[in-house]
Structure 1
């Protein structure tokens, strides 16, 4: 399902609207073609009582799913903010007395730039196995640990460096774990099926109406199509249409480039 959630928002909206409207049109034509003439009077009698049930079922499924995915998007933004805070703490820890900050800041800046370019979207975001990012994080680990092991560096400063480094690597692991999460396929299938059933039922109600009157079902089909498009757009904040912002990490990288963390030394 990753190929579907990674589509641009415009493609999702146009695609699901097309599917919904096509189903509505096929339902209207299909009832005329499949239902015998003698039984057509019974179609509205059967379809009308089903509309509230199908509408309520789709509304509940859609509301729960969209609320859950919107919450997951906010959680993903929180993870990025936590990672940015961790990198900022490490940058400040490198400014402690007796600490050689330049190598740590250079390694940290390289890590931030590499992870934003190589490990932010697509398969690398969920797997965490990008070679360039692995080299950058290894360089950062070696640089910080070598600095913390210097004999002339006091225990508080060394501990602060190691704790800050651990916070950076842990935040990255949390981000990778979050990026590997997917919406359960059965849940998505159930939601799509309930939406399409609602459209088919609405199309069956107007199968004997004129073409202009039949346009009333377009509203139902549009709501269903847009809801499904929004669901798939929200479901992949690391590779989908609504990608979580990397601005917090970029702000830390900019501060490193500008020398903000070394100001006053």
Structure 2
């Protein structure tokens, strides 16, 4: 389902709206073509009581799903903020007395730049196995642990360096794990089927109406189509239309480049 969530927002909106309107038109025409003339009076009698049930079912599924996906997007943004905070702590820890600051700052900047350039969107974000990023974080690990092991640095400072480095790697693993998450297929299928069933039922209610009167179901079809488009747009913060912002990490990169952490020197 990743190919669907990675489509641009315009494609999702146009595609789902088109499908919803097509189902509404097909339902109206299909009832005329398939239901015998002598049974057509029963169509409204059957379809009308189903409208509240189908409408409530779709509304509940849509509300729960959209609330969940919106919360997931906020959680993804929180993970990025946590990763930036961990990088900031490491950058400050590297400025402690008797610590060689420049190698750590250089390695940290290279790692963050590789993360933003190579590991932020698409399959690389979910796999976390980009070779350049892996080499960058390995260099950062070696630089930090080499400094922490130096006797003149001292145990408290060395511990702070290692703990800060562990926070960076842990936050990265949390981000990669979150990027690999996907909406359960059965959940999406249930929501789509309930929405299309609601549209089809609406189309069946107006099969005897004029074309102008039948346009009233466009509202129902539009709401369902837009809801489904929004669901798929929100479902992939690292590969969909709404990519989670990397500004917190960009800020840390800028601070490292400007010398902010070591007083601008």
Match in the other structure for 2:44: 44
> 2:99 & 2:133 partners in 1: Cα distance?
25
1:56-79 residue CA offsets vs partner (Å, 9 max, x unmatched): 000000000000000000000000
Match in the other structure for 1:84: 84
Match in the other structure for 1:31: 31
Q: CA deviation at 1:227?
A: 0.2
Match in the other structure for 1:184: 184
> 1:4 & 1:53 partners in 2: Cα distance?
28
> 1:152 & 1:58 partners in 2: Cα distance?
65
Q: CA deviation at 1:158?
A: 0.7
Q: Which segment is superposed worse, 117-126 or 52-61?
A: 117-126
Q: Partner of 1:216: helix, strand, or coil?
A: helix
Matches of residues 99-178 of structure 1 in structure 2 within 5 Å?
99-178=99-178
Match in the other structure for 1:224: 224
Match in the other structure for 1:238: 238
- 2:258, 2:264 within 8 Å by CA — same for their partners in 1? no
> 1:120 & 1:127 partners in 2: Cα distance?
11
Q: Partner of 1:134: helix, strand, or coil?
A: helix
Mind listing any 5+ residue stretches in structure 2 that lack a counterpart?
none
- 2:94, 2:104 within 8 Å by CA — same for their partners in 1? yes
User: Could you list the runs of 4 or more consecutive aligned residues of structure 1 that deviate by over 2 angstroms after TM superposition?
Assistant: none
> 2:110 & 2:23 partners in 1: Cα distance?
51
Q: How many residues align?
A: 265
> 1:209 & 1:31 partners in 2: Cα distance?
12
Match in the other structure for 2:259: 259
Q: CA deviation at 1:149?
A: 1.2
Q: Residue 264 and residue 225 in structure 1: after superposition, are their counterparts in 2 closer, same or farther (change >3 A)?
A: closer
Q: CA deviation at 1:186?
A: 0.2
Q: What value does the CA root-mean-square deviation take over the aligned residues?
A: 0.8
Matches of residues 52-71 of structure 1 in structure 2 within 5 Å?
52-71=52-71
> 1:3 & 1:130 partners in 2: Cα distance?
20
Q: CA deviation at 1:148?
A: 1.0
